[in-house]
Structure 1
Amino acid sequence: MSHRMEKRINELRDAISNYSPGSTFRIARDRPTEPPIALRIGLFGPTGVGKSALINSMNYATGPMWENRAPEGFASEASKTLARNAFPMTEKITMVDNRGMRSLGGPFMVELGHQIAGVYNDEQSVEWDHGFLRRVVAGLERTFRAKVDCEIHCAVLVISALNLSLRATDLTELIEQIKSMTGHPPIVIITHRRHHEVREEVITAFRTGLQQQRIDYVYELENYTTDDHGYDAEKHLVLLEALYQCAIVGDKVMKYKESNQGCTIL
């Protein structure tokens, strides 16, 4: 591990450890006047992309040792997460895991809406189609106007590099609705990046599509797992960079809510 990489890892660990809501603003008057007790980061994505493994990996990167806190599943198995679970990374940062969606279609939208704006999730299986997608987006717009409570401050879309059959343009309406409700687009994390079956041209095309959607922050990483959690400086660095960026985005959302009409941060 290079000295520069070690220094950056330590800097990020200190920044995350010392973080409190609003503190990423350097000037005190720019910070939210009534920040929440803790930053809440919501992870969303289909089944098997590694949301729970990401939580464990983030916890490992910020802490002294590996812990299997969130139950891990695999792309070929059913999701291990049966309900929303909150996992504190620090006293002031919490990550919220969610049930894996079978696809990035209707059910995914409903769950995301429920988390961000309190949209009712009836737990029924809904087939992906454009008409349903439009109805959910319209529902989010109605909920946004109703000024309900937001449960998260930063939305993170987790997508596996092994399953990039979806195009970035499929996420257009979802991204736009998140931006209209929070003032900021979601962060995207692409997992399983080092897998031998990953095709570079597919990754490149997907990232290009995200750039066209004005997604500023995309992180490609390989999670630590129960079977493979030997320290890797490159893994640690990407995980910490992504987590700290979540804090920066979350602070912007908190401030946005104070100066714009919208849902109230809990």
Structure 2
Amino acid sequence: MDDEERRRVIRDFTFDRCKRGNQGFRRILLQLFGYVGHGKSSFINSAVSVWFNSEYQNCANAASTHESHTTERLTYPLTKNIVLVDNRGCAMMNTYETGEIFAQLANLLPLDKPVGWSKGFELADRIVEAEPYVKASDFTIPICVYSVKNFPTPHQKEELKEIFKTATELTKVVPTVILTNKSHQNYNEVEKLFRDIGTDNFFALENYTDKNPKRKKETDEAVIKFLYEVISDATFRADQPRNADEELIDRKLLVLRYIHNRELMIVKANLQKQRDLEKIQMDREFRMRQEEEEKAREKSRELQRERMERVQQEFNRQRLRNQFEHEQRMREKENQKDKRKK
């Protein structure tokens, strides 16, 4: 199949043509997620440029550095039924940022609105407040964008593994991975790492950027193939028995459980931290008491030694006095003997 045929399939896609009808679905959201500065916004720019066959434009406000400019869930419609979503990137996949990722992938937060990292149960409140604005008819396909210039640490690998697992549970779709900067020497190792964590859907490309805006056949073909493959996968999944309204409820329950369990873990961790601090304080106080008692004992021993020294000194002085007196008496006796002899 050539690119023109793929374009036709993408352009004409509608859930209404699936074997079981739309089952409550109306459009596909290709939701991009990942770390800050890995090329999500740049991929949006590339995809928009390729799909509309236009000159490169920085429509997604992609940064030229590893900083992120995306602070909203911005949408970029390609067709009436296919929408790219540029989610806010994460600096570190801590429990608050991953909670936001899951809420976004579950489509529980409104589109084209600011995204903040909520703490505590604030995210749950935002999910409830967003209920009138989210649509069960949106079919989410998770897309992880990762730059191969950044080789994941063992900790990041475990983070990504858990995120992919939850993303799959939420969307019933294993995340597709777009590897940017594909010409970098890390490519093969990074691809293997993602295969190790459970995905084999890869698309590699060099994004168009402000520095390299010139369209290339290789990149154009990679973008069109990506769109065609994810649409084909969505069609396959939509041919299975589905229920859009029930799936939205299931996603909401899963994310709310995640938030609940996260807060329980944080409370337990804080309690453990408090207990550890209290134990450290008790140990410190115990050591201080021991040190004070040892100092008191040492002082007592020192006073005892001083008393013994004084007693010994007095004993010596007394012994010397006695010896002197004895010698003096002996001399007197000798003198008296001498006198009698005379």
TM range (shorter): 0.7 to 0.9
Structure possessing the higher radius of gyration over alpha carbons: 2
The two structures, once aligned, show a CA RMSD in angstroms of 3.1
The answer to whether the aligner puts 1:163 opposite 2:157 as a matched pair is no
What is the SS of the residue equivalent to 2:30? strand
Assess, with a 3 A threshold, how the Cα gap between structure 1 residues 114 and 253 changes in structure 2: closer, same or farther: farther
Task: Decide which structure has greater helix share.
Answer: 2
Question: CA–CA distance in 2 between the matches of 1:94 and 1:111?
Answer: 20
Q: Which residue of 1 aligns with 2:247?
A: 262
SS, match of residue 153 in structure 1: strand
1:109 equivalenced with 2:103 (yes/no)? no
Does the CA-based 8 Å contact 1:183-1:256 persist in structure 2?
Answer: no
Which residues of 2 match residues 1-266 of structure 1 at below 5 A?
8-21=2-15, 23=17, 28-36=18-26, 38-66=27-55, 67-76=57-66, 78-117=67-106, 118=108, 123-124=117-118, 153-167=140-154, 168-194=157-183, 198-199=184-185, 202-254=186-238, 258=242, 262-263=247-248
**Partners of 2:141 and 2:78 in 1: CA distance:** 14
What percent of counterpart residues are identical? 21
Q: State the AA in 2 paired with 1:155.
A: P
- TM-score by length of structure 1 reads 0.73
Residues matched between the structures, number: 228
SS at match of 2:58: coil
Identify unmatched segments of 5+ residues in structure 1. 1-6, 127-135, 137-147
Query: For structure 2, which runs of at least 5 residues remain unmatched after alignment?
Result: 110-114, 124-134, 252-342
After superposition, the Cα gap between the structure-2 partners of 1:224 and 1:258, relative to the gap in structure 1 and judged at 3 Å, is same
Contact 1:46 1:108 in 2 (8 A): no
- C-alpha change, 1:40 and 1:160, in structure 2 (3 Å) is same
CA distance in 2, matches of 1:46, 1:224: 19
Task: Letter of the 2:170 partner, please give it.
Answer: M
C-alpha displacement at 1:256, in angstroms?
Answer: 5.6
> CA separation of 1:104/1:150 partners in 2, compared to 1, >3 Å: closer, same or farther?
farther
What code does the residue aligned with 1:16 have? I
Deviation (angstroms), 1:30: 4.5
1:176 corresponds to which letter in structure 2? K
In 1: Cα distance, 2:136 partner to 2:24 partner: 15
Instruction: Compare relative contact order (CA 8 Å, sep 6+) and give the higher one, 1 or 2.
Output: 1
Q: How far is the alpha carbon of 1:98 from its aligned partner?
A: 1.5
Q: Given that residues 61 and 239 in structure 1 are in contact (C-alpha distance below 8 angstroms), is that contact kept between their aligned partners in structure 2?
A: yes
Distance (whole Å) between structure 2 residues aligned to residue 259 and residue 149 of structure 1 = 9
Q: Distance in 2 between matches of 1:56 and 1:114?
A: 24
